């Protein structure tokens, strides 16, 4: 039996692909041969340049604000109009708000849940409806978090959304595995991204976090790409409902 990680001929939708983890995942999937629909609110010029430099896979920017579900149908339709297919969905777009739980506002709760959980579900639904109508399988990869397993501090809506995302991943896997749709998640540990800049700039928090990571360093975004390629590829065809930590050993500590 030949094990394949090749994504040639596949089209992937990657949300929040303009920077950080989403950008690294998009570049990795393109490097494995996929064409990438880059979805988000901000310019994708840096990601587009990185994909072009890799020499494999083409890409297209689809502008969409996933704080509402309004653009979701259009994201799938634009992708299909571009390459006539959509095989992989990476739900990476997410936001975070920090405040003590006793001070946390309803607006900060709703804003995070809308992007991190509600839009993820409805984009997955739209994507799965397309696959089921076409009678073919596909891959959905949700970007969860260590906070899918742990509580954290001062990020109540983020923790709730990522815990909910782990549960949603398992539910969708149960419903759609029999239809040939793999639904899994990656749970990144502490990576060098915009979302963690405040933590890395806090000497005490930075030291405490580094002291618990067996690998001894914050993750680099491109260290997440291999897990994404695996879950997007034929190599993971019998993997369903997994929340895969990529955390430098954090959860093993």
Q: Is the pTM of this model over 0.85?
A: yes
Checking if the pLDDT of 1 tops 80, the result is no
Give the 3-state DSSP-derived string for 103-144, with helices as H, strands as E and coil as C: HCCHHHHHHHHHHHHHHHHHHHHHHHHHHHHHCCCEEEEEEC
Alpha-carbon distance values, 17 to 6, 12, 241 (Å): 21, 11, 23
Three-class SS state of 80: helix
pLDDT digits (tens, 9 = 90+) for 140-176: 999 999 999 999 999 999 999 999 999 999 999 999 9
Pairing status of strand 88-91 against strand 59-63: unpaired
Give the pLDDT of residue 200: 96
Widest CA span in the chain: 56
- What does residue 35 show for φ and ψ, rounded to 5 degrees? -90, 145
The two structure tokens encoding residue 72: 């979701």
Counting residues of the chain whose pLDDT is more than 90, the rounded percentage is 97
Give the pLDDT of residue 142: 99
Arch. (CATH architecture) of 11-248: 3-Layer(aba) Sandwich (3.40)
pLDDT digits (tens, 9 = 90+) for 181-216: 999 999 999 999 988 998 899 999 999 999 999 999
Three-class SS state of 93: coil
Checking if the pLDDT of 26 tops 80, the result is yes
Q: What is the DSSP letter of 101?
A: G
Nearest in space to 85 (alpha carbons), one of 131, 23, 152, 150: 131
pLDDT digits (tens, 9 = 90+) for 70-127: 999 999 999 999 999 999 999 999 999 999 999 999 999 999 999 999 999 999 999 9
Give the pLDDT of residue 248: 98
Which residue in the list 61, 158, 190, 250 is annotated as catalytic?
158
- What does residue 52 show for φ and ψ, rounded to 5 degrees? -60, -40
Does residue 158 carry a catalytic annotation?
yes
């Amino acid at each position: 039996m030949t094990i394949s990680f090749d994504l040639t001929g596949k089209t992937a939708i990657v949300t929040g692909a303009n920077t950080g983890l989403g950008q690294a995942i998009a570049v990795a999937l393109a490097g494995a041969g996929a064409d990438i629909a880059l979805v988000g609110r901000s310019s994708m010029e840096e990601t587009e340049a990185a994909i072009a430099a890799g020499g494999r896979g083409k890409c297209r920017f689809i502008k969409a604000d996933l704080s509402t579900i309004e653009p979701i149908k259009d994201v799938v339709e634009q992708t299909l109009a571009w390459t006539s297919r959509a095989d992989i969905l990476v739900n990476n777009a997410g936001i975070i708000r920090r405040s003590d739980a006793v001070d946390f506002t309803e607006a900060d709760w709703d804003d995070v849940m809308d992007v991190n959980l509600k839009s993820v579900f409805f984009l997955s639904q739209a994507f799965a409806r397309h696959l089921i109508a076409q009678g073919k399988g596909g891959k959905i990869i949700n970007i969860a978090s260590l906070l899918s397993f742990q509580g954290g501090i001062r990020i109540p809506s983020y923790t709730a959304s990522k815990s909910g995302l782990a549960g949603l991943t398992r539910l969708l896997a149960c419903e759609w595995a029999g239809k040939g749709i793999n639904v899994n998640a990656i749970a990144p540990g502490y990576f060098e991204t915009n979302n963690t800049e405040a933590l890395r700039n806090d000497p005490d928090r930075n030291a405490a976090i580094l002291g618990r990571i067996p690998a001894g360093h914050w993750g680099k975004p491109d260290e997440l790409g291999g897990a994404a390629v695996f879950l997007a590829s034929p190599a993971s065809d019998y993997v369903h409902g997994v929340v895969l930590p990529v955390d430098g050993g954090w959860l093993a500590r």
